């Protein structure tokens, strides 16, 4: 009986070690897999959205919440940060919502009045609120540097419509829902 328990324990430990090793990510994987969409943050930092990780956690129009993984590649300091994002969306603040609220639905999207109204409204409030927690850190070859307790990188806060956080969140939203946010 004790021998069976030891074998079972050994098997479980082996499985856990193999499973956790398979979740490590390298720069090559991020750059070459269609599973990852890249947003260039700056010349030394890229942010990748894991398209396969997008999940809806709240569908209560006009409020939506998605959960997804992002990978931040810092080429200068040579690491990859794996993060879990929770993104809340208020569809009333989408492009379509802004146009409807301002009675501009009969005007083409390309008109200056529509562009100006949408830009002002989005800069005032993008409609996106994000929370980011770091779950792991890897070197560029995919070797684990840190994993364990989540590191709160950013609490729930409004996202600026010109930021990478907004672009990544809208990309996730568009991947999941067929709308113009």
DSSP labels, 87-108 = EEEEGGGSHHHHHHHTT-TTS-
Which pTM does this prediction carry? 0.78
For 108-147, the pLDDT digits (tens) are: 888 898 889 888 988 898 889 999 999 999 999 999 998 8
pLDDT, one tens digit per residue, over 4-41 is 434 434 434 444 444 444 468 999 999 999 999 999 87
Helix (H) or strand (E) holding 168: helix 164-176
Selection from 127, 20, 111, 7 nearest residue 64 by Cα: 127
CA–CA distances in Å: residue 78 to residues 16, 21, 31, 141: 27, 20, 15, 9
Per the CB < 8 A criterion, the answer to whether 91 and 174 are in contact is no
């Amino acid at each position: 009986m004790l021998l069976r328990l030891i074998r079972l324990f050994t098997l479980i430990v082996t499985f856990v070690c193999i499973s956790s090793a398979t979740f490590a990510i390298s720069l090559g994987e991020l750059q070459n897999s269609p599973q990852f969409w890249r947003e260039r943050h700056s010349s030394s930092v890229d942010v990748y959205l894991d398209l396969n990780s997008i999940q809806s956690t709240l569908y209560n129009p006009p409020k939506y919440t998605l959960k997804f993984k992002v990978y931040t590649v810092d080429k200068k300091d040579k690491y990859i940060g794996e993060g879990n994002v929770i993104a809340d969306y208020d569809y009333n603040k989408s492009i379509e919502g802004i146009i409807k609220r301002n009675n501009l639905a009969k005007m083409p999207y390309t008109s200056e009045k529509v562009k100006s109204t949408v830009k002002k409204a989005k800069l005032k409030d993008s409609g996106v609120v994000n929370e980011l927690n770091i779950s792991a850190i890897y070197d560029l070859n995919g070797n684990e540097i840190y994993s364990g307790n989540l590191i709160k990188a950013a609490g729930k806060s409004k996202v600026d419509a010109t930021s990478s956080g907004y672009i990544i969140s809208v990309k996730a939203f568009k991947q999941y829902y067929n709308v113009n946010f």
